[in-house]
């Protein structure tokens, strides 16, 4: 399995528009973050988790040539606003399956009515196949099992996903013990960590490290990072030896 970080920033990305914060002015490419999304290549299939407003540029940056399915974590725009940009893949390969909670599908069908309304479908709009995800019901795609992980982003339900020894959890604030049980024996965990100070709907650095100590993965990569976490190079030096900051374009080979 190969995991590519398409974007590792929070909802505003880095640099934050109009900001003079030192991290926003950094020349280090690892401090420049598009909105959070990943690409997973496994057994000749390519899965995308979330397609936000930077999706087109992410596809170009990663030289992505096909998408077999898209999994959505939740409906916030930084995770969904790029849905229209799947069109080139649809033009070439036909409809793309999308997987999400029913609430998310309903939200997307309102915002992207021209895609979802078969009676008034706009010519040239993306072609999708809707699949609803339910808690405790793994998705099996071409023999590959994708396990949904259910948790809260403040009061909003969100899905993370586990494939084999890899799990991707973003926009997490609280998670139940029963869902934590689904995260045993991970090789690699990707976990959100927005900043140093506490946040009402995201883990801060201390909370992220505390949760990592409970899950005990072999390695963890932090994502959904804001400029308020600090410089990539400086923060990296403070982390435990098995915890790393992700950055846009980082690729992991996971056996």
Nearest to 5 by CA among 30, 27, 42: 30
pLDDT at 255: 84
How far is 41 from 25, CA to CA, in rounded Å? 33
How far is 234 from 230, CA to CA, in rounded Å? 7
How far is 81 from 247, CA to CA, in rounded Å? 21
Q: What SS3 class is residue 108?
A: helix
Specify whether the CB–CB gap between 196 and 205 falls below 8 A.
yes
Instruction: Give the number of other CB atoms < 10 A from CB of residue 17.
Output: 7
Give Cα 90 distance to the centre of its chain.
21
How far is 254 from 174, CA to CA, in rounded Å? 27
How far is 63 from 58, CA to CA, in rounded Å? 8
Global pTM exceeds 0.95: yes
How far is 180 from 42, CA to CA, in rounded Å? 24
How far is 50 from 100, CA to CA, in rounded Å? 10
Instruction: Give the number of other CB atoms < 10 A from CB of residue 104.
Output: 23
Tens-digit pLDDT string for the chain (255 aa): 999 999 999 999 999 999 999 999 999 999 999 999 999 999 999 999 999 999 999 999 999 999 999 999 999 999 999 999 999 999 999 999 999 999 999 999 999 999 998 877 778 899 999 999 998 999 999 999 999 999 999 999 999 999 999 999 999 999 999 999 999 999 999 999 999 999 999 999 999 999 999 999 999 999 999 999 999 999 999 999 999 999 999 999 998
Q: What SS3 class is residue 130?
A: strand
- DSSP assignment of 12-54, as one string? T-BSPTT---TTTT---GGG-BPBPEEEEEETTEEEEE---TT
Domains of the chain: 2-253 (3.60.15.10)
Pairing of strands 166-169, 156-163: antiparallel
pLDDT at 122: 79
């Amino acid at each position: 399995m190969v995991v590519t970080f398409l974007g590792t920033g929070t909802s505003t990305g880095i640099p934050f528009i109009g900001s003079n914060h030192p991290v926003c002015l950094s020349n280090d490419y690892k401090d420049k973050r598009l909105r959070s999304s990943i690409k997973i290549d496994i057994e000749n299939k390519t899965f995308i988790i979330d397609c936000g407003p930077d999706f087109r540029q992410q596809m170009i940056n990663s030289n992505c040539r096909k998408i077999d399915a898209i999994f959505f974590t939740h409906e916030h725009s930084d995770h969904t606003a790029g849905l229209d940009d799947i069109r080139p893949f649809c033009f070439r390969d036909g409809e793309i399956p999308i997987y999400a909670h029913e609430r998310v599908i309903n939200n997307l069908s309102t915002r992207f009515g021209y895609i979802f309304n078969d009676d008034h479908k706009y010519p040239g709009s993306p072609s999708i196949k809707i699949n609803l995800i339910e808690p405790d019901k793994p998705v099996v795609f071409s023999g590959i099992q994708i396990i949904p992980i259910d948790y809260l982003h403040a009061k909003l339900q969100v899905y993370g996903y586990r494939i084999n020894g890899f799990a991707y959890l973003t926009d997490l604030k609280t998670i139940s013990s029963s869902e934590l049980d689904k995260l045993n024996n991970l090789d690699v965990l990707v976990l959100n960590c927005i900043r140093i100070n506490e946040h009402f709907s995201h883990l801060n650095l201390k909370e992220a490290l505390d949760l990592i100590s409970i899950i005990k993965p072999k390695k963890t990569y932090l994502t959904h990072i804001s400029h308020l976490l600090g410089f990539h190079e400086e923060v990296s030096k403070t982390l435990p030896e098995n915890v790393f900051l992700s950055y846009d374009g980082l690729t992991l080979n996971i056996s």
